[in-house]
Amino acid sequence: MAGHETHYILPRPTFDAPVKVLIVVAPYYKDIADDMIAGAKAEIEACGATWDLIEVPGALEVPTAIGIAERTSNFDGYVALGCVIRGETTHYDTVCNDSSRGLTLLGLQGLCIGNGILTVENRQQAVVRADPADQNKGGGAAAAALHLVALSRKWGRPTSCMGFRPAGEPVQIA
């Protein structure tokens, strides 16, 4: 069973400047979401970062909320949390594929996102994966987001004065 394999886990990243992370959760299965949130918060705090939390109706709304936050706020990274349990219809496939696709597209645009939306066959699989004392997928998603923030800061380039800028905007020299 995959849950009992040993996996390599990267050391926690360190930061010279404050890091602010937004946790976006779809709490459709509240108990599972609460466990994932606990794991994510613990991982973020262990890296010395701060977090904010918002709830959205379902997994399909998670990428949209992250996109809105990126355009209107000042977060360094994002943790996407939720749970999709297979049912009797193809809705499961739509929700899994489209929520994942939305997060991937945002990530390819440069957002630092840890995807912690569980896609499972049954409730028991979700419980094991969400439990901070077991597979801790919420903590894993937070760790992924934090590692991407660290990479972004490592490879980030200072803005330059080249190109057009609005009239009246001060020139910044790096």
pLDDT tens track for 21-64? 999 999 999 999 999 999 999 999 999 999 999 999 999 999 99
Predicted pLDDT at 5:
76
Asked if residue 162 is part of any domain, the answer here is no
Q: pTM, whole model, 2 decimals? A: 0.88
Assign residue 126 the CATH number of its domain: 3.40.50.960
Provide the annotated active-site residues.
91
Residues 139 and 42 sit within 8 Å (Cβ to Cβ): yes
Does the residue 98 lie in any domain?
yes
Residue-wise pLDDT for 72-91, tens only, equals 999 999 999 999 999 999 99
pLDDT at 159: 52
* pLDDT at residue 1 is higher than 60: no
According to the model, what pLDDT value does residue 164 have?
53
**Domain of residue 32, residue span:** 18-155
* Sign of the four-CA dihedral 72, 74, 78, 82: negative
pLDDT at 45 (0 to 100): 98
72 neighbors 16 (Cβ within 8 angstroms): no
